Amino acid sequence: MHENPHHERRWWILAALVLSQMMIVLDGTVVNIALPSAQEGLGFSNDDRQWIITAYSLAFGSLLLLGGKISDIFGRKRTLIVGLIGFAAASAIGGAAQSFLMLAASRAGQGVFAALLAPAVLSVLTTTFTESTERNKAFGIYGGVLASGASVGLLLGGALTEWLDWRAVMYVNVPIAVLAVFGIYRLLINQRPDEQPSIDWLGAVTVTGGLFALVYGLAHAETSSFSDPVTVGFLIAGVVLLALFVFIEARVEHPLLPLRVLADRNRGAAYLTMAISGIAMFGTFLFLTFHLQGIMGYSPVRTGAAFLPMTLVLMASAVIASTKLLPRFGTRSLVTAGMALGAVGMLYLTQLEVDSSYLGHIVPTLILEGFGLGLVFATASNAATFGLLRSDAGVGSATTNASQQIGGSIGTALLSTLAATATADYLLGRQPTEEAFRVATVHGFTTAFTWSAIIFGIGAVVALVAFKGGAPDSHPATAGEPVIAH
């Protein structure tokens, strides 16, 4: 195995990586609570509003694989620094936005640089921590950040919007990025392969186009329907382009995503379960946020704080799962149990009513979800990068992030459409009073929670069938260059 030049500084490197990753994950939700204030300040319509969210996920999700390849070719230190500086610049432009287009463009810019950052963060983590126990601990911390970042984003977004201004949710990235750049610059050594493989541009165009079409089609369904011709056209185009991408990757000399990365059974199962959990978990964040603010009348700060039980349990669960439970029970048991807990939590939430209490009806779900997602994210992200060739660390990491990002986009569009349809159906034939509208809205939320429970249940079955049983191997047998061991 190659000598690891980062070993002595590994825990400081972890701190810099966590800071970078937290910034990326925060920006998935930190803007959500600030959106009404931004909309009022810049004067854009409700139809335009969703694009402030979607511009980020479109750019991020569709460019991740290319970002992963770039980090493999040019070195992770260089990629991280460029990504952090670019992300900070895009954030500053968003903070200074004078129009809807300027804000949407800055969000797309954040997504572009996040697509460089996310794979580089995970691949540095993967190649820095190679000893079994320490790797598990590092992935526990990473998994906790990955899954709790969304709820921390809601809390931070609420606090900044309520106490300062909506623009602060954009500007806050600048000092975080500066601190992370300083840490990365001082701590990391840039490592590049001896031979510079060419970038598979045909693969890059087809996968970027395919993922873009898929995410755009799903985002369009949220404001129209799944039968809308534009939605159907983009979804079909996405599937065709992604099929063409797989065909190309099997035939080119330097593929963007070597199919050997997907061929490992546990790794393939990890990508699939990350996507499924991404779809299902949006039932918690999205509709619970709407319920707390719209039905229970919580302020932005109080809404963010309401998710704290989930965040705290999740971070503890992720670390315990990686360090104590994974070596003993293995990935299959933990991911299956995590998905099952998620399903139980969502089923409990289907009992929610207009006058339900926070402590009695919401906190138990947050605790169950936090524990379950901690088990899933910490162990699945570990399995997704386990046994990779060093030259595949970037694209393997990118695929992990892409799985969750695409899953989240599917979850947002699918559950939003189901909730809106259930709300409209409930109101048919009823007097359109304020109380009827509130009851109908909650009915829409509980319909989404029911589907989230079903999706978590499917995830549990997939995890049980797809993962290999038993504790993970200490030394994965992979031919060729040194691998990233457990």
Domain limits, the chain: 8-189+256-466, 200-255
Q: How confident is the model at residue 8 (pLDDT cuts 50, 70, 90)?
A: low
The pLDDT mean for the chain works out to: 82
The yes-or-no verdict on residue 213 having pLDDT over 80 is: yes
Global pTM reads 0.79
The yes-or-no verdict on residue 347 having pLDDT over 90 is: yes
Closest CA to 38 of 94, 111, 109: 94
- How far, in Å, CA of 269 to CA of 266, rounded? 5
Alpha-carbon Rg for the chain in angstroms: 21
Predicted pLDDT at 483: 44
Is the CB of residue 83 less than 8 Å from the CB of residue 228? no
Predicted pLDDT at 41: 86
Please give the share of the chain, as a percent, with pLDDT higher than 70.
Answer: 90
Residue 446, CA distances (Å) to 162, 225, 449 in order:
28, 20, 5
The yes-or-no verdict on residue 462 having pLDDT over 90 is: yes
The yes-or-no verdict on residue 481 having pLDDT over 50 is: no
More confident residue, 136 or 361: 361
**Total Cβ atoms within 10 A of residue 339:** 29
Which range of 6-10, 136-140, 426-430 scores highest in mean pLDDT? It is 426-430
- How far, in Å, CA of 162 to CA of 239, rounded? 42
The yes-or-no verdict on residue 104 having pLDDT over 70 is: yes
Q: How confident is the model at residue 416 (pLDDT cuts 50, 70, 90)?
A: confident
| Lowest model confidence (mean pLDDT) among 241-245, 298-302, 333-337 | 298-302
Predicted pLDDT at 7: 59
Helices 10-42 and 265-290 pack at an angle, to 10 degrees, of: 40
- How far, in Å, CA of 341 to CA of 21, rounded? 26
Q: Torsions phi, psi of 362, nearest 5?
A: -110, -45
- How far, in Å, CA of 110 to CA of 173, rounded? 10
Asked: is 8-189+256-466 a CATH 1.20.1250.20 domain? The reply is yes
Is the CB of residue 471 less than 8 Å from the CB of residue 327? yes
Taking the alpha carbons at both ends of the chain, their separation in whole angstroms is 13
Which range of 1-5, 232-236, 289-293, 414-418 scores highest in mean pLDDT? It is 232-236
Q: How confident is the model at residue 139 (pLDDT cuts 50, 70, 90)?
A: confident
Predicted pLDDT at 372: 92
Compute the average pLDDT of residues 412-424.
82
Predicted pLDDT at 384: 80
Q: Residue with structure tokens 């030394």?
A: 475
- How far, in Å, CA of 26 to CA of 32, rounded? 10
Compute the average pLDDT of residues 305-332.
85
Predicted pLDDT at 449: 93
Q: How confident is the model at residue 86 (pLDDT cuts 50, 70, 90)?
A: very high
Residue 389: beta bridge partners?
Answer: 483
CA-CA-CA-CA torsion sign (57, 58, 61, 63): negative
Instruction: Give, as one character, the DSSP assignment of residue 291.
Output: I
Compute the average pLDDT of residues 208-229.
80
Q: Which tokens is 145 given? A: 């950040």
Amino acid letter for position 96: A
Q: Torsions phi, psi of 389, nearest 5?
A: -65, 150
Which range of 42-46, 135-139, 350-354 scores highest in mean pLDDT? It is 350-354
- How far, in Å, CA of 391 to CA of 246, rounded? 19
Q: How confident is the model at residue 278 (pLDDT cuts 50, 70, 90)?
A: confident
Interior CA angle at 379 toward 216 and 184, to 5°? 75
Instruction: Give, as one character, the DSSP assignment of residue 295.
Output: I
| Lowest model confidence (mean pLDDT) among 81-85, 222-226, 326-330, 439-443 | 222-226
Predicted pLDDT at 193: 58
Q: How confident is the model at residue 87 (pLDDT cuts 50, 70, 90)?
A: very high
Q: Which tokens is 212 given? A: 């873009």
The yes-or-no verdict on residue 3 having pLDDT over 70 is: no
- Distance from the Cα of residue 320 to its chain's centroid: 21
Predicted pLDDT at 259: 82
Max Cα separation, the chain?
Answer: 72
The yes-or-no verdict on residue 6 having pLDDT over 70 is: no
Residue 483: beta bridge partners?
Answer: 389
Residue 143, CA distances (Å) to 15, 109, 148, 183, 379 in order:
14, 25, 8, 21, 8
Q: Residue with structure tokens 């195995």?
A: 1
Cβ-based burial of 105 (10 A; exposed 0-12, middle 13-18, buried ≥19): middle
Q: How many residues does the chain have?
A: 486
- How far, in Å, CA of 155 to CA of 285, rounded? 12
Compute the average pLDDT of residues 226-236.
89
Compute the average pLDDT of residues 443-457.
93
